[in-house]
Structure 1
Amino acid sequence: MQKHVVEIEFCTQCRWLLRAAWLAQELLTTFEQDLASVNLVPGTGGILEVRLNGAVLYSRKAMGRFPEAKELKQLIRDVIDPERSLGHSDGHQADKPGAS
């Protein structure tokens, strides 16, 4: 099974370390068997960007807002295991025909 790498680049000038660390904790808890690491990458200029295996999944600047933990979990799940249910925080299974 391939282990994936998540990077969360955050703005040190904006003091977003705690937000980035909280997101990292949420991802590590949800994908503990699937992730090789979640790396916090200091940046500047208002950046908050989440990358999976080098590909940008979420950019605060592009979206104009901060990501929700649920949203990031869904984005990562959709890449690494699209059929996985995320439980109560997931609308994925409810969207499938015949799912309850």
Structure 2
Amino acid sequence: MAHDRGGPRLEIKYCTQCRWLLRAAWMAQELLMTFEAELAEVALVPATGGVFRISIDDDQIWDRAEQGGFPELSRLKQLVRDRVAPERDLGHSDRRAQR
């Protein structure tokens, strides 16, 4: 898929039956603020059946069912960083994870 801007497309697929839109939108906002120069697009994709899945250019980085819950925001930012800007320091998010 071609993007107006360079960079990958991040997709958050969330369950509408579970009312996870606000969680998905909050995560999308945080990721856009952190990776505004690296991501071409962040998409919210409504689904059903308890799904909460995050992928970058069709490469899954988080699945609620497989990982047993939702990602902590600092962990999610690390996963995205590792794909889109591996050289980048996330500051306090990285330091907290290294403890």
1:90 to 79, 91, 94: 94
Q: How far has the Cα of 1:91 moved from its partner?
A: 3.3
Aligned residue in 1 for 2:75: 71
Task: Name the CA distance, whole Å, in 2 between partners of 1:28 and 1:87.
Answer: 17
1:11 to 5, 8, 15: 15
Q: RMSD between aligned alpha carbons?
A: 1.8
Aligned residue in 2 for 1:98: none
SS across alignment from 2:76 = helix
TM-score by length of structure 2 reads: 0.88
Structure number with larger C-alpha Rg: 1
Task: Name the CA distance, whole Å, in 2 between partners of 1:12 and 1:58.
Answer: 18
Q: How far has the Cα of 1:30 moved from its partner?
A: 0.3
Aligned residue in 2 for 1:48: 52
2:26 to 22, 29, 34: 22
Unaligned runs of 5+ in 1: 96-100
Unaligned runs of 5+ in 2: none
Q: How far has the Cα of 1:64 moved from its partner?
A: 0.7
TM-score by length of structure 1 reads: 0.87
Q: How far has the Cα of 1:36 moved from its partner?
A: 0.9
Q: How many residues align?
A: 94
| Over 6 Å off, 4+ runs | none
Q: What letter corresponds to residue 88 of structure 2 in structure 1?
A: R
